[in-house]
Chain A
Amino acid sequence: MGDLIQIVVAKYNYWIYITLMMIGLYAMIAKNNLVKKIVGMNIFQTAIILFYVSTGAKRGATIPILEHGHGEHGAGAHVVHAVDYINPLPHVLMLTAIVVAVATLGVALALAIRVYNRYDTLEEDEILAKIREK
């Protein structure tokens, strides 16, 4: 039991993101309401963003913006040590992923509006029933 707690604590970031991801995935599959599915999708994507960003963390390091940054480059520049700054790459990647998530959300909402206009409901079973009636 103690071991398990140790494992969980050492990697708690992953446990949190996976829990969130499972919630999102479950909502996407099991929810009947199309907008709730979109919400689930967003939770899912956010969980992944959380996961990536958490991998960038580095104990004892600060945000990846160089001090004394202004001006000089080349020979006169300050020596920079990698251990002092956290990993910038996941942040960059997640900036992209956030944008993608927003874009997907926009399109999903637009589609949901179209569906609502057509069927007057956002409940999937009702929509399917209406389609079957025709």
Chain B
Amino acid sequence: MKIIGLIIALSTGVLLICATGDFPRWADPASPASTHLSPHFIEKTMEETSVPNIVTAVLADYRGYDTMYETAVIFTAGLACFILLRIFVKEEPGDRLYRHLLTGVTVRVKEGTKLPPSEDFERIDATWTPPDLIIKTICRFLIPFIQLFALYVIAHGHHSPGGGFQGGVILGASIILLAISQDLRTSVRRMREKLDAVLCAVGVIIYAGTGALCLLLGLNFLDYSALASVLHCDPVTARSHGILIVEIGVGIAVMCTMIWIYNNVSSIGKYDEGL
């Protein structure tokens, strides 16, 4: 297998190297890639979509259809991890452990019995280790700022590097940080599984729904200029706003999917303490 792998890898490499023979030099301004489509994007973006960040404009408008599917891909991945890993066992047989938050006393509850509902107790696994105080505190302190930054990244995607994907990932990372610094149960309490899963879908629905709305308003799918009549602005500005709307959808979808995937993978679908 090793030799076969070597042969395949080498032959692919040689083929690809040979094929680069006719490529333009690196970073050549006269290369076809830089002269065929990209000048149009660079020169017309402002005029046609009113978005200074060309990457955002191309991403969410010129090639907005790609991006919609990109969001769908990430959604599919979340769904795939969910269906593959999630275990819907009501409760594993055996005793359950609860920790009294104030005293740190662990209580073992017999099978079949229940603890009176109380905020003071937290469910723990047999392998529970207390979270490090420093990490826990610093993370709690950092998370709001991370989230704030994420919102900035989403909202400012028109003018600076950023956008829905980047912002969504940062948002997701903040929740995942919570799960890592404390435990999964804590983060799931903040972001319930059901809410998370539904928001995943909602994020993509915002994107595809905006497109479908354009279709209902009489233009082609994803032609945001149709939104002008709804938003009361000119078609070019409508495109800019349309991009913002879908970026928000992307942000939600990416955030929730990241969390969803992390939750499922880290707890092997059991939604217990996690890593």
- Taking Cβ atoms with an 8 Å cutoff, the residues of A that contact B are 10-15, 18-19, 21-23, 25-26, 28-30, 32, 54-61, 63-67, 69-70, 73-74, 77-78, 80-85, 87-93, 95-96, 99-100, 102-104, 106-107, 109-111, 113-114, 117
- Taking Cβ atoms with an 8 Å cutoff, the residues of B that contact A are 1-2, 4-6, 8-10, 12-13, 16-17, 20, 23, 25-29, 31, 33-35, 37-39, 41-43, 45-47, 50-55, 58-59, 63, 66-67, 70-71, 73-74, 76-78, 80-81, 84-85, 159-161, 165, 236-237, 254, 261, 264-265, 268
Chain B residue at smallest Cβ distance from A88 = B54
Residue in B43, B66, B77 whose beta carbon sits within 8 Å of that of A106 in the complex: B77
The docked-state distance in angstroms from the alpha carbon of A93 to that of B73 is 14
Residue in B66, B77, B160 whose beta carbon sits within 8 Å of that of A96 in the complex: B66
Chain B residue at smallest Cβ distance from A24 = B9
Given contacts A58-B27, A77-B46, contact A64 B74 (CB under 8 A): no
Please state if A29 and B4 are interface contacts (CB–CB under 8 Å). Answer: yes
Minimum C-beta distance from A88 to chain B (A): 4
Secondary structure of the A contact surface, majority rule? helix
The docked-state distance in angstroms from the alpha carbon of A117 to that of B23 is 48
The docked-state distance in angstroms from the alpha carbon of A96 to that of B161 is 15
Given contacts A15-B17, A30-B6, A95-B59, contact A65 B161 (CB under 8 A): yes
Other 6 A-B pairs with CB < 8 A, given A29-B5, A70-B159: A57-B26, A63-B161, A78-B46, A91-B55, A107-B80, A117-B268
Chain B residue at smallest Cβ distance from A25 = B9
Please state if B13 and A85 are interface contacts (CB–CB under 8 Å). Answer: no
Please state if A113 and B46 are interface contacts (CB–CB under 8 Å). Answer: no
| Residues from chain A with Cβ under 8 Å of B1 in the complex | 29-30, 32
The docked-state distance in angstroms from the alpha carbon of A63 to that of B20 is 25
| Residues from chain B with Cβ under 8 Å of A93 in the complex | 66
Please state if B265 and A65 are interface contacts (CB–CB under 8 Å). Answer: no
The docked-state distance in angstroms from the alpha carbon of A23 to that of B6 is 9
Please state if A65 and B53 are interface contacts (CB–CB under 8 Å). Answer: yes
Please state if B47 and A102 are interface contacts (CB–CB under 8 Å). Answer: no
The docked-state distance in angstroms from the alpha carbon of A13 to that of B41 is 24
Please state if B70 and A114 are interface contacts (CB–CB under 8 Å). Answer: no
| Residues from chain B with Cβ under 8 Å of A102 in the complex | 74, 77
Please state if A88 and B80 are interface contacts (CB–CB under 8 Å). Answer: no
Please state if A10 and B52 are interface contacts (CB–CB under 8 Å). Answer: no
Minimum C-beta distance from A35 to chain B (A): 13
**Which residue among B1, B46, B63, B261 has the maximum number of chain A CB atoms within 10 Å of its CB?**
B46
> Could you list some 26 contacts between A and B, CB below 8 A?
A13-B26, A14-B23, A22-B9, A25-B5, A26-B8, A29-B1, A58-B28, A65-B159, A66-B52, A66-B54, A69-B52, A70-B52, A73-B47, A80-B42, A80-B46, A81-B43, A82-B42, A82-B43, A89-B37, A90-B33, A92-B66, A96-B67, A103-B74, A110-B80, A113-B85, A113-B268
| Residues from chain B with Cβ under 8 Å of A73 in the complex | 46-47, 50, 236-237
The docked-state distance in angstroms from the alpha carbon of A92 to that of B163 is 12
Given contacts A21-B13, A22-B10, A96-B66, contact A106 B81 (CB under 8 A): yes
Given contacts A26-B6, A73-B236, contact A65 B81 (CB under 8 A): no
The docked-state distance in angstroms from the alpha carbon of A22 to that of B12 is 8
The docked-state distance in angstroms from the alpha carbon of A95 to that of B78 is 18
Residue in B50, B53, B84, B85 whose beta carbon sits within 8 Å of that of A64 in the complex: B53
The docked-state distance in angstroms from the alpha carbon of A37 to that of B35 is 39
The docked-state distance in angstroms from the alpha carbon of A30 to that of B73 is 28
The docked-state distance in angstroms from the alpha carbon of A92 to that of B92 is 46
Please state if B265 and A110 are interface contacts (CB–CB under 8 Å). Answer: yes
Please state if A99 and B29 are interface contacts (CB–CB under 8 Å). Answer: no
The docked-state distance in angstroms from the alpha carbon of A113 to that of B26 is 42
